[in-house]
Amino acid sequence: MRELTGLSLEEMQDFVRELGLPAFRAKQLCQAVQKGMDFEEMSMLPSSLRQSLQEYAVAQPVSVLQVHTSAVDDTVKFLFALRDGNCVEGVLMHYHYGYSLCISTQVGCRMGCRFCASTLEGCVRNLTHGEMIGEVVCANRYLGEKGRVGHIVLMGAGEPLDNFDEVIQFLRLVNREESCGVGLRHISLSTCGLVENMYRLADMDLPVTLSLSLHAPNDAVRRTIMPVANRYSMADVLDACRYYVKKTGRRVIFEYALIGGVNDSESHARELAGRLRGLQCHVNLIPLNEVRERNLKGVSEETVRRFLKTLEDLHISATRRREMGDDIAGACGQLRRQVLNSTER
């Protein structure tokens, strides 16, 4: 079955030709698919045509199963249903510059980070690029007249560079006019640091922002919380980041979740600053979102402030990431887990 959200205009034209339909149907179909319509809603098509399309294609590979709106800010958390019964999460945030959508790239994740809820049951499967576009289509349909998704972060469940080919296809399609029209410069890809694929991405000339989940100032600490650190040393990861900066001219964002007693001391901050010196980068400090299944602790406001100040004093550009949607299980993998747990019971 072809996922129509995953087709470029040229591919839609080929598809339409294969079915023996007139060429103008291609554009029509692209537009209808982007509006989030399923075949039943495409009243501009003769019903016989809608029926035959249904035999060969899926118009909407993703649908909205649940919507949770935050009471404290404008954040919306979606639980998206996929056609095989799996579900993934997405988070829609409203900033002064517009709407930003955080999407998932895999059902679950196999990276095993000790603080993360998405990886608790491993990776079930990769998402297709049509499904990733489908997440954006769902959010746009939800927004309706209020606006459109203008920024995308690949920071939901899954490791984007572990689903490399589909993610690249997604990036190549999503900025096209007949698709979601989100410019690559408005897209961030977050990775735990799969080094070979970081180099491959850098060589593709896709001007997306790279976010690197560092979370530690050295290999010893990193290995206690991120199994991937046993595969790649921090030196190799940072070299790949330097290469990314050189190839794309874009600074790298380092994500650093502060975990009580693990990576949050003054000397950790100093060591981190030393490692990042000379690298064109920015550090995003995130107070750990405590996950029920994990016995890691968050940190106090005071600790965040101190860590931030140490970095700034050492001339490392850093900010504390705003937490949004805290009351709606906004963090990675938490909502899907709530649903999995409640259906298990």
Active site residues per annotation:
89, 332
For ligand SAH, the closer of residues 61 and 160 by Cβ is 160
Q: How far is the CB of 271 from ligand SAH (least distance, A)?
A: 19
For ligand SAH, the closer of residues 139 and 154 by Cβ is 154
Q: How far apart are CA 249 and CA 239, in angstroms?
A: 15
End-to-end CA distance of the chain: 34
Residue for token pair 């007693």: 261
| Residue 254 binds ligand SAH (CB under 6 A) | no
Q: How far is the CB of 190 from ligand SAH (least distance, A)?
A: 4
| Residue 310 binds ligand SAH (CB under 6 A) | no
For ligand SAH, the closer of residues 39 and 115 by Cβ is 115
Q: How far is the CB of 281 from ligand SAH (least distance, A)?
A: 14
Q: How far is the CB of 108 from ligand SAH (least distance, A)?
A: 11
| Residue 288 binds ligand SAH (CB under 6 A) | yes
Q: For ligand SAH, which residue of 4, 291, 308, 318 counts as binding (CB under 6 A)?
A: 291
Q: How far apart are CA 324 and CA 286, in angstroms?
A: 11
Asked if residues 93 and 102 have their Cβ atoms less than 8 Å apart, the reply is yes
| Residue 100 binds ligand SAH (CB under 6 A) | no
Q: List 277's β-bridge partners, or say none.
A: none
Cα within 13 Å of Cα(79), Cβ side: 17
Asked if residues 320 and 298 have their Cβ atoms less than 8 Å apart, the reply is no
| Residue 152 binds ligand SAH (CB under 6 A) | no
Q: How far is the CB of 171 from ligand SAH (least distance, A)?
A: 15
Residues 178-217 that bind ligand SAH (CB under 6 A): 190-192, 213
| Residue 257 binds ligand SAH (CB under 6 A) | yes
Q: At what angle do helices 301-313 and 266-276 cross, to 10 degrees?
A: 40
Length of the chain: 345
**What one-character DSSP code corresponds to residue 150?**
E
Asked if residues 142 and 92 have their Cβ atoms less than 8 Å apart, the reply is yes
**What one-character DSSP code corresponds to residue 158?**
S
For ligand SAH, the closer of residues 53 and 168 by Cβ is 168
For ligand SAH, the closer of residues 116 and 237 by Cβ is 116
| Residue 115 binds ligand SAH (CB under 6 A) | yes
| Residue 286 binds ligand SAH (CB under 6 A) | yes
Asked if residues 148 and 100 have their Cβ atoms less than 8 Å apart, the reply is no
Residue for token pair 């790949």: 240
| Residue 258 binds ligand SAH (CB under 6 A) | no
The two structure tokens encoding residue 205? 């000339």
Q: Contact residues for ligand SAH (CB under 6 A)?
A: 111, 113, 115-116, 155, 159, 190-192, 213, 255, 257, 286, 288-289, 291, 331-332
